[in-house]
Amino acid sequence: MNTAHQQNTAHRQSTAHRQSTAPRQNTAHRQSTAPRQNTAHRPGRLAATLLATALAGAGLTVAVAPAAHAAASEAVVKLPISSYSALAVDSVHQRVFIADSNTDYYLNKGTIAVYDFQGGHLATLQTPAHVSGLALSADSGKLYAGLREQIQTYDTTTLEPAVVASTYTDTCGRDLAFSGGQLYFTTPYSQYVGTCATASTYLDGIVDGLHTRTGWNDYGKLQLEAGPGDRMLLGQPRNDKAANPFLTVYDTHDGALVRGAARRFADAAGNGALDLKDMAFSADGGKIAVADAGHGTRLLNTDDLSDAANAYPALPAGATASSVAFSGDGKYLARGAAATGSTPDLLLQPADPADTTAPLEFVFEGSLDGDRVAPRGMEWSADGSRLFTVTTNAAGGQFWLHIIQPPAVQYDTCFTGGLTHSPDQAVAGEPLALRGRLESDGPAPGTPLKVTATRTDPTGTHDLGAATVKADGTFTVLDEPDLVGDATYTVSFPGDLTHRPAEDITHTVTVAKAPTSIALTAPDEGSLGAGITITGTFTAQGKALPDRAVLKVVRTDRLGTGTLSSVTVAADGTFTVEDIPRTRRDVTYTVSWPGDDLHTPSTASATIRITH
């Protein structure tokens, strides 16, 4: 998002849903009468998925809301640009401005594409030289655009241009922010485009209509972000002249520029350096979210840039952070990423990291969507009714604008009918299935909901992961209890941005020891001289024994009872008992195993007639 968070403008709002090129959920969406060019409008396919850690927020009681509205929908616009530098959202006039940087050659002209909030194309503004950063004035009356040698404005109603001030030549592309009643912008100095990444870049401003140097400068394409309370961020992308980039906060009150907290992130060994892609203030200005390509999403305290007490969960495996945007009401955070395949490119979730409500996820994949969220490519309308997201293809030469209308309300969910288990008698070390049903109001989600489960036994509470809810609401949780005694299972649905949490459901199962058995094969008769041989098989269900079983052998004849040498069961469960009887008539051999903490004891006997 290459534009400032404006006062009374474009305050970001959030909500959520997941998008892909697969068939979308068949729900209603609002249509616009405004003309559209090269715009696809389609209902959104909900694909809420639970985070593996989303347990703590389960079981909350939520008041019943009014009748549910349609699920999220989306307009998708193929943008007439070949490069991207900035996005600005004017919520007063309901206009979206997107800049095509076009800095490859110094004589290139620039493009600013203008759309309404439904995706209708309003205008294409051609600038006299390449255009990079965009920023809106506090009242959204003016759009500032950073050109090669000047700062130009456009009236946001008439789109008429005017020159604000001439500037030092910019070869690489500027960044703009409007903060504290004043426009700030960066001016990289580089003779060649190929050296822009390490150019010496100055932080400048417009004072009384004149280009003014603030005295602050460093290497690389420095980024600006304005926020509430006359604050402004200056961030340094990683480059060959900045192995340990910085982030710093400025107070811009009354046109002053006073540097506050600053931080570099690498440790003494040089690990953990910032790889900045985007940054955003929270609605109250107390927190800063940073899209760090090497770390994910950092959450910092604004006053000293220390790590916040709670962190956001990691992005899905294979996703690299590219953009962040807080909603203006403080409820939600949008996290954009670069990912491939079915890995989400966009997550919309509660801004409070302690809230484990599952995010809604979008997958952008293919010629209808783009492949990933562009760096600094997200901005909210002030009322939170739309999220504007710029996506790009893997090559970075094509761009799309997604206008996402979130669901208006959440739908109720509840568990019905209790939990059942099978088999009826659970045993330690054997598979156990728990079955239940989750019912939800509203349209069927495009991707099945998931429930999470835990088992509590004498050693504590154990996470059993997530189970998919089928179309009819049923689900099955699989487990293999490993202790004898009572095990209490708790199944949760913590909710997502479209569904309210369900009250937890519990079920207690008594887990028994796993059975064992001994089978003997013995002759009917034997002799004193030749001796006898008994073969057998020992079988133990449940958890495998830590060592091979050792069996006790007892012989009983007319002279009394005595214990013979023990036998060890082979790896395949077989064993052999050999003996020379000491007297004629019936001799009984009893083979037994005493059992252990997880297995029952077992015994078997064979009687042989000794004839001579």
Per-residue pLDDT at 70 exceeds 60: no
Least Cα distance to 389 among 71, 98, 68, 7 occurs for 98
In the chain, where are the structural domains located?
A: 39-57+68-405, 413-512, 516-610
What is the spatial order of strands in the sheet that 532-540 belongs to? 516-521, 532-540, 574-579
> Could you give the CA distance from residue 332 to residue 355 in angstroms, rounded to a whole number?
10
pLDDT reading at 489 higher than 60: yes
Top pLDDT among 103 and 267 is at 267
- Give the closest residue to 251 by CA, choosing from 271, 273, 276, 228: 228
pLDDT-derived band of residue 193, with 50, 70 and 90 as boundaries?
confident
Q: How far apart are CA 480 and CA 456, in angstroms?
A: 13
Q: What is the mean pLDDT of the segment spanning 136-162?
A: 95
CB–CB of 397/433 below 8 Å?
Answer: no
- pLDDT score for 446: 67
296-317 exposure pattern, b = at least 16 Cβ within 10 A, e = fewer: bbbbbebeebeebeeebbebbe
Of the pLDDT bands very low, low, confident and very high (cuts 50, 70, 90), residue 73 is low
Q: Is the pLDDT of residue 33 over 70?
A: no
Q: How far apart are CA 299 and CA 321, in angstroms?
A: 13
> Tell me: the pLDDT tens digits for 392-416?
999 999 999 999 887 656 788 999 9
- Of the candidate CATH numbers 3.40.50.720, 2.130.10.10, 3.40.250.10, 2.60.40.3880, the domain formed by 39-57+68-405 belongs to 2.130.10.10
100 contacts 17 by C-beta, under 8 angstroms: no
Which whole number is the average pLDDT over 157-181? 92
Q: Is the pLDDT of residue 511 over 80?
A: yes
| Whether residue 37 has pLDDT greater than 90 | no
**% of the chain at pLDDT higher than 70:** 87
Cβ neighbours of residue 603 closer than 8 Å, sequence gap 6 or more: 518, 590, 591, 592, 593
pLDDT tens-digit series, residues 320-356: 999 999 988 888 899 999 999 989 999 988 889 998 8
pLDDT for 426-485, tens place per residue? 999 999 999 999 999 877 776 789 999 999 999 999 999 999 999 999 999 999 999 999
The pLDDT of residue 285 is above 80: yes
CB-based contacts of 288: which residues, under 8 Å, 6+ apart?
A: 233, 247, 249, 279, 280, 281, 282, 299, 300, 301, 302, 305
Q: How far apart are CA 270 and CA 266, in angstroms?
A: 5
What digits encode the pLDDT tens for the residues 529-543? 889 999 999 999 999
What homologous superfamily does CATH list for 413-512? SOR catalytic domain (2.60.40.730)
**Under 8 Å between Cβ of 283 and 328:** yes
Look at residue 408 in the predicted model and tell me its pLDDT.
59
How do 585-593 and 602-610 pair as beta strands?
antiparallel
pLDDT band at residue 76 using 50, 70 and 90 as cut-offs: very high
Residue-wise pLDDT for 97-144, tens only, equals 999 987 777 778 889 999 999 999 999 999 988 899 999 999 999 999
- 466 token code pair: 């997530």
Supply the pLDDT for residue 453: 97
Above 60 in pLDDT, residue 422? yes
Identify whether the C-beta of residue 207 lies closer than 8 Å to the C-beta of residue 195: no
What is the distance between the alpha carbons of residues 473 and 440, in angstroms, rounded to a whole number? 8
pLDDT of 90 > 70? The answer is yes
Instruction: Choose the weakest-confidence range: 208-212, 258-262, 519-523.
Output: 208-212
CA dist 239 and 315 (Å) reads 24
Residues in a beta bridge with 142: 155
User: What would the mean pLDDT of 23-28 be, rounded to a whole number?
Assistant: 30
CATH number given to 516-610: 2.60.40.2470
Mean pLDDT of the 202-228 span: 94
164 burial type by CB count under 10 A (0-12 exposed, 13-18 middle, 19+ buried): middle
**Apex 610 CA angle, 609 and 612, nearest 5:** 140
Q: How is residue 213 annotated by DSSP?
A: E
At 585 the pLDDT is 94
* Whether residue 205 has pLDDT greater than 50: yes
Cβ 273 vs Cβ 265: under 8 Å = yes
| Average confidence (pLDDT) over 296-323 | 96
- Name which of 36-40, 418-422, 524-528 the model is least confident about: 36-40
The encoded tokens of residue 290 equal 């940073």
pLDDT digits (tens, 9 = 90+) for 106-116: 778 889 999 99
pLDDT of residue 72: 53
Please check whether the two domains, 39-57+68-405 and 516-610, share a CATH topology. no
Expressed in angstroms, the distance from the first to the final Cα of the chain is 99
Nearest to 229 by CA among 208, 205, 260, 200: 260
Residue 203: its H or E element: strand 200-207
516, 595 in Cβ contact below 8 A?
A: yes
Residue type (1 letter), 579: D
Q: How does residue 66 score in pLDDT terms, banded at 50, 70 and 90?
A: very low
Q: What pLDDT, on a 0 to 100 scale, did the predictor assign at position 497? A: 72
- The mean pLDDT of the chain is 86
- 186 pLDDT exceeds 50? yes
